[in-house]
Structure 1
């Protein structure tokens, strides 16, 4: 298994000219960021949206009725064991999966005792506003690829539990982002 990127484009325009290499760029950044953090397996869902789409999510989940550049939705707390949690109209519960997990097949994938295919751990969702990304790239005077990469790696680090609530945490997180971007050739 490996780190995998699921790509969702919610924009009405879909992929535009100049965006053809973005999937490859972000898959590479995911691999580099995963390597730097010791994360070798998992699935990250990325949604590209517009300012209105991200504004709605920002209002719903953060109580801020304004667009932002990137939102991250980790599917588990840092250090927490994998579990499935139902919320909303269902009672919250953790579902334990029974069976002899952990045995690897010939490809190195973890065996599923029910006979099904192995599955990736869902690390979480990242949502990026493409119009906001473009505005910031112009504002900061660098390429759209650099800004997109910055937002994506920033979102990925949030999925892993990193934060920038205080100056020390911000320094740590931003240094990690810049190191990954430099490895990908996207340094400032």
Structure 2
């Protein structure tokens, strides 16, 4: 999986950036995501997080991670309108799955609040956002149990335990 990593803040350590890339590749393998997939991760401050949250979610407040799932538009590929296009084919034609925006300010704040390391908090945010852009959600108790269970499995298997 190709991952574009950008640190708009110029404050994220090389260790966290490396962990992010390795953890995302690990998570992709864990859920058996095709190797051809691509995504982006941008580290931002609270101010930028708030701008993005307002633009895409209509919430005027900073948040820890914003996940923008990308779904290819069949019309982009000029298929005959009567043609049924298998999901696998669409996935191969357009490998970009989405992007994450992670607030470094919120990560620091939440690591302190939850009493765990900054590495663990960044890992939690990365996997949480990654699962969102791969179709997982937590709107219902059943969805929450599935997503948070898988998230904890991935983090534990990777070695980022509580």
Q: Provide the C-alpha distance between the structure 1 equivalents of 2:11 and 2:50, rounded to a whole number of angstroms.
A: 21
Match of 1:59 among 28, 34, 54: 54
After superposition, what is the alpha-carbon deviation per residue over 1:1-57, rounded to whole angstroms, capped at 9, x for unaligned?
xx121011112xx035xx121222112211221122110321110000000101011
Q: Figure out how many residues of one structure are paired with residues of the other and give that number.
A: 148
Contact 1:133 1:147 in 2 (8 A): yes
Match of 2:138 among 164, 175, 178: 164
Using structure 2 for the length normalisation, give the TM-score: 0.85
CA RMSD of aligned residues (A): 1.7
Secondary structure, counterpart of 1:66 in structure 2? coil
Runs ≥4 residues deviating over 4 A: none
Counterpart in the other structure of 2:111 = 137
Using structure 1 for the length normalisation, give the TM-score: 0.74
Q: Provide the C-alpha distance between the structure 1 equivalents of 2:2 and 2:94, rounded to a whole number of angstroms.
A: 8
Counterpart in the other structure of 1:9 = 7
Q: Provide the C-alpha distance between the structure 2 equivalents of 1:162 and 1:49, rounded to a whole number of angstroms.
A: 23
- Structure with the higher fraction of residues in helix conformation: 2
Task: Point out the structure with max Rg over C-alpha.
Answer: 1
In the alignment, structure 2 segments of 5+ residues that lack a partner are 80-92
Q: Provide the C-alpha distance between the structure 1 equivalents of 2:117 and 2:78, rounded to a whole number of angstroms.
A: 46
